[in-house]
Amino acid sequence: MRVLIRPKEGILDPQGKAVERALPALGFEGIGHVHVGRMVELEADDPTRLAELCEELLANPLIEDYEIQTL
Amino acid sequence: MIWGVLQFPGSCDERDALHACTLASGGARLIWHEDRDLGGIDGVIVPGGFSYGDYLRAGAIARFSPAMEAVAELADAGGPVLGICNGFQVLCEAGLLPGALLRNENLRFVCRQLDLVDEGSARELSPSEGGQPADRSLLSIPAKHGEGRYYAPEPMLDELERNGQVAYRYAPGQNPNGSVRDIAGVRNETGNVLGLMPHPEHAVDPLTGSTDGLSVFRSLERFAA
């Protein structure tokens, strides 16, 4: 399983902004809305409890959104 | 009163906190993070540092330690709890304080002496109960952190302001990290749990330039049983 965690829409993401600002200097034009998050890979015997795990620990629901993917 | 100062793997300001508690309130001792029993102390300091290496998010792992379970019980019972810097992050992650702390807006670690506005206590005791009027004086206290940008959604911020839960603000023009509404510290609704990013434990001796930090510790003494 894979969990993607990203800053909530509307919350200032200075990491994403810093990456975005660096791109033109490297010759990458036309790239916007860069956001930097985290990825957690794990194996779960009972995937039904993964959302609970995300809410409790992997993400802070006040500032982050998460997405659970089955590989 | 006797403060207990938590010690996590990665804590680094617990010794200064011990010293500050002793100067401010009379006594303090260390509490190891695996101790479930706080052992008869009157209040708890969750100190600064990088508990559990700041893995995942600052404060996210520390909140599951046995000592933090005991701290949550003390907080629920109305006992004084003070979180400083990483300790503030731990208390927010544990849900004992509202909001969250994000990477500094400019992505740089900040380390400087700055001025805080003391917004006064949430639940002021009346003069007949021995209370003092709210003190809005400036406190000179150092800050040193990379993830200190206080954030809470707008409706939550409005509620905090209404309830008098904003404890400290950075003085105008001195916000070092992009915190919303210049917020440097907040307290819970009952006022007995307080967290702030700057370090009052480093401002307790004239030798290092300021003793303004003592008032932060003393502001919680009235919650000791």
Predicted-complex ipTM score:
0.85
Contact status, residue B27 vs residue B2, Cβ threshold 8 Å: yes
Domain limits of chain A? 2-69
Q: How far apart are CA B93 and CA B78, in angstroms?
A: 19
Mutant choice from B96, B97, B103, B147 vs A, greatest count of A C-beta within 10 A = B103
Asked if A60's CB is within 8 angstroms of B57's CB, the reply is yes
Distance of CA B65 to the CA centre of its chain: 18
Asked if the model's pLDDT at residue B110 lies above 90, the reply is yes
Residue B137 — pLDDT band, cuts 50, 70, 90? confident
What CATH number has the domain bearing residue B211? 3.40.50.880
Give me the residue from A12, A60, A62 closest to B105, CB to CB. Answer: A12
3-state SS, chain A, equals: CEEEEEECCCCCCHHHHHHHHHCHHHCCCCCCCCCCCEEEECCCCCHHHHHHHHHHHHCCCCCEEEEEECC
Give the range of the structural domain holding residue B81, as residue numbers without chain letter: 2-223
Asked if B107's CB is within 8 angstroms of A15's CB, the reply is yes
Residue B225's pLDDT is 81
Looking at the domain A2-69, which fold is it? Mth169; Chain: A , (3.30.1280)
pTM of the model as a whole: 0.91
